Structure 1
Amino acid sequence: MRKKYLLLYTCLLVTALHINAQCKQRKRPNVLFICIDDLRRELGVYGSEVITPNIDGLAAEGSLFLHHYAQVPTSGASRACMLTGCLPKNKNDLSNEACKIRLSSKAEGDEPETLFHQLKRNGYYTVGIGKISHYADGYLYGYSKPVSQKLELPYSWSEMLFDAGKWGTGWNAFFGYSDGSNRQSRSKEVKPYECADVPDDGYPDGLTANLAVSKLKELLNREQPFCLAVGFFKPHLPFAAPQKYWDMYDEKKLLLSPIPDLPDGCSKLGFHNSDEFNGYLLGEEKASLNQRVSDAYARKLRHAYYACISYVDAQVGKLLDVLRDTGEFDNTIIVLWGDHGWHLGDHRIWGKHTLYETALSSALIIKAPMMKKGVKNERIVNSVDIYPTLMDLCGVQCPKRLDGNSLIELLNDPKDVDWKDVSYSYFNNAVSVRVPKYRLIQYWHDNDSVLELYQYNKDTFERKDISKNKSKIVKSLLPILKEGCMNTAF
């Protein structure tokens, strides 16, 4: 009889432990990770004139980071840093092909390839939709080639999805126009913008939002915790958006760049002639370091960029509405991240690919259960910090090799005295370090190096290189800059 009761007790105990484990799993927060391409800190909540009610509302529910910086000012490399939590280690890590070179052909090892792989290994169902790494739909193939079956991130996803619609492939959609054509098929004989009287799904991001809404509803009915990553294309070139988003703005009243010229005393080594932008061959004017584009054209382009942001804001709103309507908003970690900034005529550049504030600073919002709401965080943070932050928020062990630091303390205490306010960024033959008052940039050229220094508490817009007049400051920052090069090939 005792054996019978003991066996019954053991069965009940095992059942209870199993149920308890299931309950704990269900209580783990879900994750919605939103990647937005080329989104600089150009949101209403950042003080911009752009109209973004949905993203502004998200910021009111969590932490808005006012000084978030990308580690590389180009999409593929910036995303590789965010995904792996690691600073660039060599020149390949500065390429748009960084994930392909570093991750795509490797066998699965003990170290997770990305933060999404680590979540997947720890019980999360991971779904990617759209551009999360560099390739537009997550599969490796050239701009004008057929879609392949080889994933850029082979171990990160339970599912990788995309709806290319009338464009046929991810890359065609990425560079798509409303008639189903794209930059490649038209041999670059296209404008860098388009306004078309079409619904939201008349452009690819509307299709991405529809697919993500459908998948989100499905995932919410699963008992397993999930991480849904959604990558929107806009405001990346071409600046194409439905007319209703263009109609939100009076173009003649839009502000022009406060820094339309090169900084006084700069070396010019870190500047370029906006080749990506000028590759749209039907643009009315070409960008050049020699002179500004006209004010009228600058406003046209700003209008187009703003319309794209408002368009993406509406798509983000559709996802947030699902969470609110299902009562899951409070149990969901939401990260909204721009992969780097973009010069809208700033320093005469239309594009990214510089180590200046405009190209490196981008949007970052994190909302998490049980964290403070409406925090405007002034601390300097990095894209590589997102990986350890998500692991902490999800209760998942963090790999030891990461260069980033968890932001979890800053989510509740922006004045955390232990936080180190420093950001390193890299491009071509140069390294930048950003601290609260200054940015020091070192360019290597012809077996020599050139330094530039900018002071933000007096010159927010990098109007003048002051390195020659502030030798003591340069001397104090050089050791900090060198720390950012210790484990790299720079």
Structure 2
Amino acid sequence: MGMKSLLPFAALFFPCWLEAAPPNVLLILVDDLKPALGCYGDTRAKTPHMDRLAARGMRFDLAYCNQAVCAPSRFNLMLGSRSTSTALYGLGSRLRERLPDAVTMPQHFARHGGHRTESIGKVFHIGHGNEGDPQSFSVPHFKDKVIEYLDPASTQGGQLTREEALFTNQKLDQIRSLPRGTAFEAPAAGDEDYADGRVAAETVRRLGAAARRRKENGTPFFIAAGFVRPHLPFCAPKSYWDMHDPAKLPQPEFEEHPAGSPLVARKRGGEIAAYDPVPERDDAAFSPELKRRLIHGYYASTSYVDAQIGRVMDALDRLGLAEETLVVLWGDHGFHLGDLGIWTKHTNYEQANRIPLVIIAPGVAKPGSSTRQLAETVDIFPTLAALAGLPAPSGPQPVDGVSLDPVLRDPNARVRDHAFHCFPKQKLGRAIRTERHRLVEWKTPGAAPETAEIELYDYEADPLERENLATQQPETVARLRAILARHPEALPMGPPAKKKKQP
């Protein structure tokens, strides 16, 4: 579809656009961000800038990632494909080894909309042996740190820590021999002393250049700006810690595994144990002081990244770009803060999978609106393509997402009756989330259905997931498994099969 044929569609969607080009796109990606935001009803959060962003668009109250870990979730976003359709399940999964001809969201916008595509900060996951996907963008990626400390005492005198090595692809075969960095620090520092401040500054600079190009020749931009906090370590300037009274922050209400949950679904330790002073033994208890400090660090880090997002949105307004730019605020997955006795992510439970999702679509989505339409990360790609008047994504990778455009126009419209996500452990857990229930089926891909272990949770009766109800409610299990059976069988976990050479 050529540019001229796009213009009638554009006029229908955004009558305020410049007639020479489709809308710009600004993706704001935030690592490990759960809906612990004022706009989502968290009264303890200090997030005025994201709250104002949400007031300009539609808030999705039941949005879910497709896999609760960084690299696969970002593949889900950029491909419109679920992990079960691509087998890109791991932090070290390499997109082009599995799908060499995949067309990512920025590539789609460049090809069909003429967008200049740019990435700043954490967009694709880089680290754990992964190098991201440079070919997705028109210009080289602006990379900054994920793991960053200012105080040498946080790294045992400036040593390379385990997580720093993982995220910079250093000494990957020696990780356990390296020291642990601290889980938090709160120095008297400026915003740009940490990476997210520098990412905000670079994004503002890129927006200025994009505004000039838009004025000179009509070139639209597609900018993905990725922020790393509140990902561990919780390192943020002291001023953001001081915004919160730790005694008033929420503490976990239920810290046991759900009664009757299968062993494969459970988690202790993991990522959190890579940081000092967290106990390294999976069965070790956290002191009340440690739990409070970690939760304080998460809220402080969220307030810090909120301020950086505010700088970006202020620039969008100052440059006169707001009315012709689609904006998405997206958390790559949720985060456990001690609920069920779990910290970080890597589960199929609610806190790891529910995410904030806000879409600003001037002239389409009513400012300050919200919806209970279940949404998935994979829906963002087809939604933005529809809003921009571009062809729907068609691969060659499998495209599992659906456009949320009808919902943006009418919050009561429905385009799906459940959300789907997964997590791989010794078995693969495939899950569906309806407005009331979550069902998880744990089995090896390709194995018979009767080999599966099942979890069922009722969020009206038990929002804290205290008990697996699968054996008590067989009729509900049968109904939800029938919905799950509508999905194709998951691709197996493991490396891609090597292609046989032709004789």
User: Which range, TM-score by smaller chain?
Assistant: 0.7 to 0.9
- How far apart are the structure 2 equivalents of 1:225 and 1:231? 19
1:366 aligns with 2:359: yes
Partner of 1:183 in structure 2? 161
- Tell me the secondary structure at the aligned position of residue 249 of structure 1: coil
> Number of aligned pairs?
446
Corresponding residue to 1:411 among 399, 408, 411: 408
State the identity %: 33
Corresponding residue to 2:264 among 263, 269, 280: 269
- Shifted more, 468-477 versus 399-408: the winner is 399-408
Corresponding residue to 1:298 among 291, 294, 310: 291
Structure 1 runs (4+) greater than 6 angstroms displaced = none
The CA deviation string for residues 95-144 of structure 1, in whole angstroms up to 9 with x for no partner, is 1233x2x326876x5xx5211110011200111111111116xxxx859x
User: CA offset at residue 370 of structure 1?
Assistant: 0.5
Q: Which amino acid aligns with 1:321?
A: D
Corresponding residue to 1:398 among 392, 395, 405: 392
- How far apart are the structure 2 equivalents of 1:385 and 1:287? 39
User: CA offset at residue 156 of structure 1?
Assistant: 1.6
Partner of 1:130 in structure 2? 121
User: CA offset at residue 152 of structure 1?
Assistant: 2.9
Equivalent residue runs for 1:33-432 within 5 Å: 33-48=27-42, 49-89=44-84, 92-98=87-93, 100=94, 102-103=95-96, 109=101, 113-122=103-112, 123-135=114-126, 142=129, 152-162=132-142, 164=144, 173-179=145-151, 181=158, 183-184=161-162, 187-222=178-213, 223-280=218-275, 282-286=276-280, 288=282, 290=283, 292-371=285-364, 372-400=366-394, 401-417=398-414, 419-428=415-424, 429-432=428-431
- Tell me the secondary structure at the aligned position of residue 459 of structure 1: coil
1:478 aligns with 2:481: yes
User: Radius of gyration: which is bigger?
Assistant: 1
The CA deviation string for residues 324-344 of structure 1, in whole angstroms up to 9 with x for no partner, is 112221221100111111111
Q: Which amino acid aligns with 2:431?
A: S
Q: Could you tell me the TM-score, scaled by structure 2's length?
A: 0.83
The CA deviation string for residues 64-119 of structure 1, in whole angstroms up to 9 with x for no partner, is 11111111111101111111001124684111233x2x326876x5xx52111100
User: CA offset at residue 355 of structure 1?
Assistant: 0.4
- How far apart are the structure 1 equivalents of 2:204 and 2:277? 35
Contact 2:57 2:358 in 1 (8 A): yes
Contact 1:67 1:361 in 2 (8 A): yes
The CA deviation string for residues 341-370 of structure 1, in whole angstroms up to 9 with x for no partner, is 111101111111000111111111100120
User: CA offset at residue 283 of structure 1?
Assistant: 1.1
- Tell me the secondary structure at the aligned position of residue 257 of structure 1: coil
- Tell me the secondary structure at the aligned position of residue 192 of structure 2: helix
Q: Could you tell me the TM-score, scaled by structure 1's length?
A: 0.85
- Tell me the secondary structure at the aligned position of residue 465 of structure 1: coil
Corresponding residue to 1:454 among 452, 457, 468: 457
- How far apart are the structure 2 equivalents of 1:106 and 1:402? 13
Partner of 2:14 in structure 1? none
- How far apart are the structure 2 equivalents of 1:221 and 1:189? 46
- Tell me the secondary structure at the aligned position of residue 118 of structure 2: strand
RMSD value over aligned CA atoms? 2.6
- Tell me the secondary structure at the aligned position of residue 391 of structure 1: helix
Contact 2:161 2:180 in 1 (8 A): yes
Q: 1:294/1:106 Cα in 2 relative to 1: closer, same or farther (>3 Å)? A: closer
- Tell me the secondary structure at the aligned position of residue 181 of structure 2: coil
Extract unaligned runs of 5+ from structure 2: 11-16, 153-157, 166-177, 494-503
Extract unaligned runs of 5+ from structure 1: 1-15, 144-150, 165-172
- Tell me the secondary structure at the aligned position of residue 252 of structure 1: helix
Q: Which amino acid aligns with 1:115?
A: M
Q: 1:105/1:435 Cα in 2 relative to 1: closer, same or farther (>3 Å)? A: closer
User: CA offset at residue 284 of structure 1?
Assistant: 4.7
Contact 1:286 1:293 in 2 (8 A): no
